[in-house]
Chain A
Amino acid sequence: MFRYLVRRLLWAGVLFLAVTFVTYVIFFLVPANPARLAAGQNATPEHIADVEEFLGLDRPFYVQYYRFLKRLVTEGSLGHSFLNRRSVNEEIYQAAPVTGSLVFGAMLLVLSISIPIGILSALRPRSLLDRAAMVYVLVGISLPSFWIALVLSYFIGYRLGWTPIAGYCEVLSVPEASTCGGFVDWAYHMILPWLTLAIVVAGTYVRFIRAEVMETMTQDYVRTARAKGAPARRVMRAHILRNAMLPIVTIIGLDIGILLGGAIFIEQVFGLPGLGTTAINAIGQFDLPVLQGVVIFGAVAIIVFTLIVDLLYAWIDPRIRLT
């Protein structure tokens, strides 16, 4: 187990380097000079040179990359924004919980929708419920997330006024500047974003659970359980679901890892100041350190969640041995 962890962590390090390196390279291939942007249009060449030196942009790209790594490893710092010189760590710490609340809340919703529907569809294939579920799945997978977001915010938020249209509220330490705060406000504002993300994601899960359950139902050990005289509920719980749900742990973990990188469209439409919004703003402003920060966070999230999922899976499925 220990060796396994060490190996995984080493791998994670390699991946991390690869991701950051590629981000750096891409950024440098773009023909725009962040120093120029930061200095302003009125600036003289001397002034721009000053800014370049200030931002460390006057060195060749591999030197910059090395400095970046060094700072990251020795200080744990992701640098400062080119735009407003804020600490990137700060920006990430601020934005990550917003995206986190979106993703985790939505995943709970996804699971509570898709598990029952998936199971029922599997138990009654070709029934009305099953067919309706499959139509929903197709629709959910096909519709773009921003369209769903806009439609929901328009009809439910604007026309019906059942929920707020947009915005994010802090749960704890609510700042005076915000127009809302506390747990209830937070949840109220998150309803539409959760719903949107859930609609987008749940389709895949319904299909997956349905397929898994259907397949598990045909397994020999299910027949054995019935042959032992187990009632249907027990068969379902201890034998079918206990086995069918295992792979879902994997995809949930992966999805969470991926989504934590920032559900961009949803954050934009609902004005959530999460990692997606941060990334978009950074891209538009050629703010490399912030963008790099978000990318790194996303990569780390995926790496961490993949690892968690693997460990979890090994724990719940006795057939898996970590080597």
Chain B
Amino acid sequence: MTRRIWASVAMTAIGASLLAAALFAGPAAGGPEASAQRVGGSLTVTSRSDFDYVDPSLAYFSHSWNMMAATNLGLMYYPHAEGAAGQRLTPMASQGMPRVSNNGRTYTFRIKQGFRFSNGAPVTAANFARAFARGLAPAAQSPASSFLDDVASYRAVNARTFRVVLERPAGDFLSRMSMQFFTAVPTNTPITAEGIKAPVISAGPYHIREWNEGRSALMVRNPHWRNNREPFRSLGFRNYLNEVRWIVGADPATQRLQCERGEADICSFPPAQAKELADQYGVNRSRFFRKQQTGNWYLAMNTQRPLFGNANARKAVAHAIDRRFMVAQHGFLAGQRTDQFLPLSMPGFKQANIYSLKGPNYDRARQLAQGNTGDGKAVFYTFNVSQGPPIAQSVQFNLQRIGIDVEIRQFDRVVQHEKSATRGEPFDLTLEGWLMDYPDPSNFINVLLDGRRIQAENNVNVSYFNNAAINRQMDRAQRLTGQARLNAYGNLDINIIRNHTPVAPYISSAARILTSAKVGGFRYTSLQGTLWTQVFARS
């Protein structure tokens, strides 16, 4: 997902607040809540960038999705909770899990009664059909269309029944239904290229009343949401806040000062100041938080070039790199060392100690490299800001020890992306990161490592890895559901990394957030970011 990667890099690079879901493994967050938990109040968020759209069919920034998690009603959702509870795909507007028939190709959803849009109109199946239509309409050019590739047909059978027929079974279909693209919209919502503007009529606990593009936005309560009864109550939203304001703000250094002074409540900050803030406020105690993200960074090795066409050469690299140093380049508390492809907080992740997390293992690396590194020359594409250059240099240093001469080429992030995404581009190594769209392992493995998806340009499989056996295993896992699915993907991750090593991951990312003293009950997940439906404002 280019936009999210860019935003993620932008955050690490310039500390823009990136809000995405993650499993948080650690003590309870949020500070002393014994103090007044009160209903009402408002919070202000500053960020470097604005929403791209407030139109659910078009919005793709994680920043926008963070807002929509509080304003939109989907068929399915991931509960707004940290930990395992937040990773369990749960029905939202759907009455229970849908009925799956036709060999896993047909999904029939029953829509709960009682939900209403912010203008009072009841939510029916037609509202979800409209979302699909908007996602597929050519006039809209929506990114949703690529997530509906395998949809053969969809229909609002009646006011309470919505049916989707797929071309082939897909184990991640339900996860996709949790994406904001497919949330309920009024049936008369126009289909335009520019998208709808505020005030937005939506069916979630809140709605966007005002959006001053490039400047500010205001989210207020949906007057027709009744938290004390069904179908609302079981969704688990506290909805303390009356309002949330977003202000498109200044550079991170200034934003940090604003949060400290209470001019804003949730801000970004320059990554280099993470240590200082941790020292000052402690971590996950009152105002400075570290939350796991479901994302990673890795070295991709171009398997279509002679050097890394050889699996042993690739394994040698995975042994030779210094993960400790590389993680340090991302900054204080920026993530955890890993050697596996699935992020630590991804459901299905299984720990297997394949490569050393402590430092380079030159002995093993040299063994594997011996005679397998061709002319011993490699070209490394990296981006020219933040951790790009030092990581490239670190790798260069490590590989030189095992007889590979690395030439580093630095580019603007977008340019680096573009070049490495082009098949045939003459590089051997490139630095990449990835953030989940939803917490399902296929999001990483199928999307990033399926060789059949390789095209002339715009590739995300930048190791150009194409292994028939692995591809088949991916297909098989994709058709599974439940625990079987997770097991299959967990093993597949280990298999790929241990035996094929098209990539050498090194960090499983974490998000760092700064709040003002006003924010109470701070909750944050890798998928949704700050959980507006759970936090409250201290007086």
Contacts and interface: CB of A to CB of B under 8 A. Distances in A.
21 contacts: A37-B2, A41-B458, A44-B149, A48-B458, A51-B141, A54-B141, A83-B52, A84-B53, A153-B254, A161-B261, A165-B258, A166-B257, A177-B216, A177-B218, A177-B245, A177-B246, A179-B245, A269-B254, A273-B214, A284-B414, A285-B6
Interface string A26-46: 000011110011111111110
Given A31-B419, A42-B1, A150 B253 contact: yes
The 6 nearest A-B residue pairs measured at CB: A271-B250, A177-B218, A41-B2, A177-B216, A166-B250, A271-B249
Contact of B414 (A37, A44, A268): A37
A51 B138 CA distance: 10
B141 A50 contact: yes
Contact of A48 (B195, B215, B254, B457): B457
Contacts of B143: 39-40, 42-43
B12 interface: no
A271 B412 CA distance: 24
A45 B146 CA distance: 11
Contact of B254 (A37, A44, A270): A270
Contacts of A100: none
Interface size class, chain A: 35 or more
A37 B214 CA distance: 19
Contacts, number: 162
B49 interface: yes
Nearest to A33: B418
Contacts of B245: 177-179
Given A47-B146, A157-B257, A270-B254, A178 B1 contact: no
Interface of B: 1-3, 5-6, 10, 44, 46, 49, 52-53, 60, 138, 141, 143, 145-147, 149, 193-195, 209-218, 245-251, 253-255, 257-258, 260-261, 263, 412, 414-415, 418-419, 421, 447, 455-458, 460
A289 B21 CA distance: 33
Given A84-B52, A84-B53, A165-B258, A40 B1 contact: yes
A165 B402 CA distance: 52
Interface string A153-196: 11001100100111110000001111100000000000000000
Contacts of B457: 33, 36, 45, 48
Contact of A167 (B209, B210, B247, B251): B247
Nearest to B419: A31
A42 B147 contact: yes
Given A44-B146, A285-B6, 10 more contacts: A32-B418, A43-B458, A80-B194, A85-B194, A91-B213, A94-B215, A176-B210, A269-B250, A272-B250, A284-B10
A271 B455 contact: no
Given A45-B457, A91-B214, A177-B218, A165 B138 contact: no
Nearest to A271: B250
Contact of A268 (B209, B211, B251, B418): B251
Nearest to A85: B194
Contacts of B412: 32
B263 A281 contact: no
Contacts of A271: 46, 247-251, 254-255
B146 A165 contact: no
A89 interface: no
A176 B248 contact: no
Contacts of B257: 153-154, 157-158, 165-166
A31 B414 CA distance: 9
Contacts of A179: 44, 216, 245, 247
A44 B147 CA distance: 11
B138 A50 contact: yes
A164 B250 CA distance: 12
B193 A54 contact: yes
Contacts of A176: 209-210, 218
Given A32-B415, A85-B193, A158-B260, A278 B214 contact: yes
B145 A47 contact: yes
Contacts of B209: 176-177
Nearest to A272: B250
Contact of A94 (B214, B253, B455): B214
Contacts of A36: 2, 418, 421, 457-458
Given A47-B145, A178-B247, A270-B250, A42 B460 contact: yes
Nearest to B5: A41
Contacts of B146: 40, 42-44, 47
Given A31-B418, A54-B193, A166 B263 contact: yes
A86 interface: yes
Contacts of A86: 194, 213
Q: Which of A36, A80, A95 has its CB near the most chain B CB atoms (within 10 A)?
A: A36
A24 interface: no
A95 to B, nearest CB: 7
Contacts of B141: 38-39, 50-51, 54
B214 A167 contact: no
A237 B2 CA distance: 63
A269 B251 contact: yes
A253 B421 CA distance: 48
Interface in A270-306: 270-273, 278, 281, 284-286
A30 B415 contact: yes
A47 to B, nearest CB: 6
Contacts of B263: 164-167
A38 B60 CA distance: 10
Interface in A82-116: 83-86, 90-91, 94-95
A148 to B, nearest CB: 13
A271 to B, nearest CB: 3
A285 B146 CA distance: 21
Contacts of B261: 157-158, 161, 165
Contacts of B247: 167, 178-179, 271
Given A158-B257, A164-B263, A271-B250, A41 B418 contact: no
Contacts of B212: 175, 177-178
Q: Which of B60, B217, B414 has its CB near the most chain A CB atoms (within 10 A)?
A: B414
A252 to B, nearest CB: 28
Contacts of B255: 166, 271
